[in-house]
Chains A and B, each alone.
Chain A
Amino acid sequence: MKAVIAENLINTYDNGRVRALNGLSLDVEEGTVLGVLGPNGAGKTTTVRVLATLLKPDSGFAQVAGIDVAKEPDEVRKVIGLSGQYAAVDETLTGWDNLIMFGRLYHLSSKQAAVRATELLEQFSLTDRAKSPIRTYSGGMRRRLDLAASLIVKPKVLFLDEPTTGLDPRGRQDMWGVIDELVKGGVTLLLTTQYLEEADHLADEIAVIDHGKVIARGTSDSLKREVGGEKLEIVVENADMAATREIVAKVSASAVAVDEGMRRISAPVTTGSKALIEAARLLDDLGIHPLDIGLKRPSLDDVFLSLTGHVAEEEKESEPVDARAKRKRGKQSE
């Protein structure tokens, strides 16, 4: 069963001049994780806002946990959790205060709210900071508390909007761990991210969006296959480059790429590790010791580049195209 369905969502602002969503369609199978991947301004947050009942689309259909978002937003609110960029907690209050307040707003009794707050603080390793004001928390702790607040009533569908944006590597690792645990617990998750490795790590399926539209979807592996298979990459000393180039040409049926600066020679291969071993053997025969040798699978960066023709560049969501162009011109003249 599909836990989330969005069909042909269109959302414009600035009197129709800017299209945040331009016919976006996606769905999430119950109990799975969909990673919505795209640069800033692609429409990720707008998608989440529509599905979480915060924003009415101009047209299109959305359904969450079998409930029509436009017709019964109150029913949807009972079964969703929302956290990330656009949800927040009260910084002057303590973590405990916040969880109690949100628990009460979900109509738990004082006692139930206290029990749930205790559980969640424990689950998110925040127990010892429960009575400190949120403004004294680190970024990672804040995000964890924010996430905890969205889990008070064990939502059927959880929306996480860029859950790790702005966190340091340690904070991101912690957050991934926490999300992994949730997913094991069986929650349906729609997660937006601009970090390619994050989608790769957390999501069962990925929808790549650009300019308010899904431009590709599939598993991380299938998207990578779409872009092309594995590449053999060898880095050698300058003196060995010519010989290495010949060896790579032998094991690959495709064109060989040479990066002089990086002293890297690479080519697509279809036989995987067999090609790698063959190349290593031939190098060894000639007494060449590569500085680095390996099979490289295309990254999601490569996926994005090949799908959109541009790298995952940052675009400011609220800015119309002409303003952006102006800004770029302005920068050049500086």
Chain B
Amino acid sequence: MTKVLEINEVSFAYERRLILDRIDLMVEAGDFFAVIGPNGGGKTTLLRLILGSIEPVRGTVRLFGQSPQKTSRLAGYVPQSVDLEKDFPVSVLEVVLMGRMLTGKIFPRYSAADHAAAEAALKAVGLHELGGAKFGELSGGQKQRTLIARALVSDPQLLILDEPTANLDHRVKLEIYSLLKELNQKVTIIVVSHDLGLIASYVNKVAYLNRRLVPHPPGKISPASIADLYQRAAAPPGVVE
């Protein structure tokens, strides 16, 4: 198995507050990896470390065997869509094309190849007929699909998603996870999620993160085993030991 991501003994602090404490994590090609845990537990910080936008205080992060600053363009990133402006005058296609705008390239136009890639990405998420629609007028699930297409458009080998199903109803959550499962045949996926009960049938690895990372014990992943991990890891340290 090829190692996609390797995190060794990583700690991160922000203004003297320890956010991540000696994290070890390994993701292999083809994995569908879920990170669960409470808000403020350091999940977003972990994603930023993986994408190389911040550097660890201690320890090393290796993305595709190198420092993330060099390789982060091999990863596609899907942020939470809740923060995005509702009235913003931008079409679905324009949002997807934003994913083609990588650093170092300042040619002021999207090429035909960019447009072709955007169309293909929209097709992959089932939105190929909505390219001209206003992003703000889409449903929550369609917005999330658009953001997934934006991540796919750069042809990534790893897809990183920050709570892709927050604020969506149950049926739409299932649709999004089914889509991710389908995409997982080609790309490795790391997802931050609160949907403990739902992810079990889709992912193959789970870890609990709240400053420290507690991996799911080897064996079958089920809603019960995830709930168990959450409770065990969330309990005060004295109880776990």
A and B are interacting partners: no
Taking beta carbons and an 8 Å cutoff, which residues of B are in contact with A? none
Taking beta carbons and an 8 Å cutoff, which residues of A are in contact with B? none
